[in-house]
Structures are given as structure tokens and as C-alpha cells.
Structure 1
């Protein structure tokens, strides 16, 4: 993710080292497989699959990997998809930090035990399973680097696209949409010649952020990375402003 990205302060992903990148692609593949298993392999009629593929493409997941995951999920590949279920956990850490952890797993007992252990190790408390914290709202987000000399043109396109809002930070733009309007906004921007998205997904955004000092922010990153190292953890969202580490 770009250093100036607003999204980097909302959602955490490890850097693009080879091992971390492979792990990230594995998580995308699982999400694509689940979407294809539920709604079929046709992107035009499967909104969940379109979203999963958009997210993977925005992080440069190879086309062959995406196609293979679709084939597995829809049962047309060599190995069909396992019966993965989405399991949602939320909890609190010291200092008012809230975590929202989305898992995809074929083993409920394993993931439940692992997530409880991770919260305990972070000296946190876990909430009721399936609960979305009140200050987390589901939103579509599109993020891209603004081509040189194209800011005014891009802003006009965004304002005419049906997007709810947008923010510009140096040469990056973050565009926010309602979940139901995500596809329409994305398509309008793409067909206007701006398609190099660094983020393209429907996700959760916290309405209020807390600030940490640099040492606490680094400790918090270490906690996030422990969660991310778990193969069942698909996404992690939080309410921490990490701009102090940029």
C-alpha cells in the first residue's frame, strides 16, 4: 500500500515481501473460491465474486491465480473448494483500540480457539461473535494514484460518478461509496480511463480514530501482524490512526 494512503490508517496489511505477498494471495484465493462456490464463476452475475476479484487485481494478483481460484471454487478445477464459512470477531485492546477480525475457515473450533488466544496475548477482551462494533460502517473504497496533470479531470469524474465522498492526500485519491453503488462508481471511473486501482473493495471503516505515540503504534503493528499470520484470518480493521509511522 502506498505510504500516503488514507486506507493504510484504516486497514493493515504486511509489506510486499515475497512470503507476505504469497500469504496475501492465498487469502485472496480463498475469498474468490468461497464467492465462486456460492454464486458461480460468472463475474457478471456474481457480485461477491466481482468484489473479490477486484480486490485481488488491485494488489496485482496474477490472472492465472485468480482463474485457478475461480475454477476451484466453482468445482471445475482439479480440487473443489472446501466448505469455508465466514466468522466475525471483534474485541477491545487497551487505550480504546477496537479490532474487527473477519475469518474464513473450514474449522470453527480451531479458529475460535486461535482468535481467543490472540486477543488474550494482546491483553484484550473479545466480544460476542458476529458483532460489528457500532462505529464501524460498511463502505466501498477505491484508491489510486493521480496521474500527473490529471487531478482536476479525475475529481470531475468522481463527482459525477455517484461516489459519496473523496479525499486527496498528495498524489493519491481515496473514493468512498455506498456498498450498493460500488460497482457503478468503479465502472464509471474505469471507463473514463482511470483503472490502476491500488484498493478496490467493499469493506469496513471506523468513524472515529484514536492516536497512539510512536512506541505504542509499533507495538500495535506487531499485534496486527500476529493476527495476520493466522491462516484463517482474512481481514483486520481497527480504529487507530497510524500516520505517526509514515
Structure 2
């Protein structure tokens, strides 16, 4: 296994899920929307954060708010460009350059596997 080759070990399913916040996200088109007004309307749906970038408006919220946000957007005929789920680490770990290189190597091998859908880690971005 990839873990054995990289001196790691594989935990049981869900054994580290407590280390991550399960979140949802949406990207919608800007289309002249007032970001502040949209954010105020979405607060009742349980959003955490709304911001705009060059590709549209991003909405972040807890996993449990996905249905409420999707319903809100659909009721108002707001086009959803993309949506999805993420796991955000609650605490990150700083690694040395050598450790980071080893972890990057392992992550790369795992992500290349056709059976792997998502990979999350707690390593600080370097």
C-alpha cells in the first residue's frame, strides 16, 4: 500500500474525521448582485462566508446548510455555477521541507489512484 511504502499507516474509516470541519460551497454568477444584500439574505440559511472573486460569488457554509442554500438559490433563479463539499482542517501542522516533500509524494500517489475521490490533510500549505 502507499502508506507502507512511505512509512505511514492507514486508519479505519472515519478515524480522523473529528479533525476536520465538513463544509459545503457554492459558486454563483455575479450578474450585478449586491454582495452585502445577498449575504444578509443567506444568513438565515446558515452561511459562514460569502465573497467575490474573478470567477463569481463564493458561498461557504456548514455541510448541514447545503439543502437550505441550494433551495434559496433555486427559488430565486440564481444560477449555480458549481457546488461541492470540503473538509477543512481544524488545526494544521507545520512540517519541515523534508517532511512536506515526503507527504507531498504520498499525497500525489494517493491522488493518482483512480479509486480515490478526495484527499484531505492537515499539513500547512507551503
TM-score normalized by the length of structure 2: 0.68
Q: Where does the alignment leave 5 or more consecutive residues of structure 2 unmatched?
A: none
User: How many equivalent pairs are there?
Assistant: 120
| Structure 1 counterpart of 2:108 | 225
Q: Structure 1 residues 215, 184: closer, same or farther in 2, change over 3 A?
A: same
The DSSP-based 3-state class of the residue aligned with 1:154 is helix
2:30 to 147, 152, 155: 147
User: CA RMSD of the aligned region, Å?
Assistant: 3.0
Larger RCO, structures 1/2 (Cα 8 Å, 6+ apart): 2
The DSSP-based 3-state class of the residue aligned with 1:236 is coil
> After TM superposition, what 4+ stretches of structure 1 lie above 4 angstroms from structure 2?
212-219
1:200 correspondence with 2:69: no
Q: Is the 8 A contact 2:91 2:122 kept in 1?
A: yes
| Structure 2 counterpart of 1:48 | none
Q: Deviations over 1:189-216 (max 9, x none)?
A: 343324112x423x53321122446675
Whole-angstrom CA distance in 1 between matches of 2:92 and 2:28: 24
Q: Structure 1 or 2: larger helix share? A: 1
Whole-angstrom CA distance in 1 between matches of 2:104 and 2:26: 22
Whole-angstrom CA distance in 2 between matches of 1:144 and 1:215: 36
TM-score normalized by the length of structure 1: 0.40
Alignment of 1:1-246 (within 5 A): 117-127=1-11, 129-133=12-16, 134-137=18-21, 139-144=22-27, 147=30, 150=33, 151-160=35-44, 162-166=45-49, 168=51, 171=53, 173-179=58-64, 181-192=65-76, 193-197=78-82, 199-201=83-85, 203-212=86-95, 217=100, 219-242=102-125, 244=126
Q: Where does the alignment leave 5 or more consecutive residues of structure 1 unmatched?
A: 1-116
The DSSP-based 3-state class of the residue aligned with 2:87 is strand
Q: Is the 8 A contact 1:164 1:178 kept in 2?
A: no
